[in-house]
Chain A
Amino acid sequence: MIIAHFHLMRDEIPIAGIREWLCMLRRQRFGKRVEGDSMWPTLRSGDRVLVDPKAAIHAGDIVVAEHPFKSLQMIKRLLSIEPDGRIFLAGDNPEASSDSKVFGAIQRKHLLGKVVSRLI
């Protein structure tokens, strides 16, 4: 499935246009560099993305979140928002998993924003 929709998935996060760059200058976006292959093929290691911290968040979005136990930030797909406020995240690429289970729950407060565009 992933292979068949490779190009569609790649297009999911559009390339930043003028509007995105202006938002960036107005500090309505922050930038992140992707490291790792867990979001392949949607995002590749080395991709630079812009994140909107104020965007409405829905299941299916790609988000940046604080890791709950480590001082690092991760980029993942949001699977679901539970009524108790927990948020489930997962990578797109199960093959890149360093742990066999790709699911994880975080608290809403750890969520930093939604990935809205990427730079060429």
Chain B
Amino acid sequence: MFERLKDRFTKDFGIAEAHCDAPCGVYDPSSARIAAEAVLSMTKKILDLKVPDSGEAKATANYHNTLTRYILVKEEQARVAKDELLILWTDYFKPVHLETYPDLHDTFWKAAKLCSACKVEVSLEHAQELMEAIKAIHEIYWGSKGKDVAWYTAA
């Protein structure tokens, strides 16, 4: 009885959304930059890793273990960099920004493609190009906010 009374009483309750698409205010290309730095670092480490002399079981195991871990981090961080860039591109930037930055879409598209390339390949060149692309996005982003924020890297 109480249940029915309560249902009648509460049927007009409006909906309060508990979805997280509250209006966003917090963006920073540095999250993509940090991930891209990890990609660059892992690419270097993979390229520098010495293949052990054949026959040594322990050294071979260590080599494969280390290589796998480097690859794992590179793959993961390339994905993070891409996700962060796409969020910035689709959520922060608005059509009005295209007036000031007409090559905005091209810049983001190429940066996202570089993330994929770095994930698939072991390319120092592409990893460095990704850092350059994120630097360009850093300048566009802070320029659009009218702030002069100097580019820096953690490494």
**Considering only CB atoms, which chain A residue lies closest to B20 in the complex?**
A97
Residues of B within 8 A of A91 (CB): 18-20, 22
**B21 near A98: Cβ-Cβ < 8 Å:** yes
**Considering only CB atoms, which chain B residue lies closest to A33 in the complex?**
B13
| Also in contact, A98 and B19, with CB within 8 A (given A103-B26, A104-B25, A105-B25) | yes
Residue in B6, B15, B20 whose beta carbon sits within 8 Å of that of A72 in the complex: B15
Contact with A along B19-36 (1 / 0, CB 8 A): 111111111000000000
**Considering only CB atoms, which chain B residue lies closest to A96 in the complex?**
B20
Total interface residues on A, CB under 8 Å, equals 41
Q: Give the size range of B's interface with the partner.
A: 20 to 34
Query: Which chain A residues numbered 92 to 107 have a C-beta less than 8 Å away from chain B?
Result: 93-94, 96-106
**A100 near B83: Cβ-Cβ < 8 Å:** yes
**Considering only CB atoms, which chain A residue lies closest to B92 in the complex?**
A101
**B15 near A31: Cβ-Cβ < 8 Å:** no
Interface residues of B (CB under 8 A from A): 6, 10, 12-27, 83-84, 87, 91
The 4 A-B residue pairs with the shortest CB-CB distance in the complex, in nearest-first order: A104-B22, A36-B18, A97-B20, A75-B16
The 18 listed contacts between A and B (C-beta, < 8 Å) are A32-B16, A33-B10, A35-B17, A35-B19, A40-B18, A48-B13, A73-B16, A74-B16, A75-B18, A88-B25, A91-B22, A98-B19, A99-B22, A100-B87, A100-B91, A101-B24, A104-B24, A105-B23
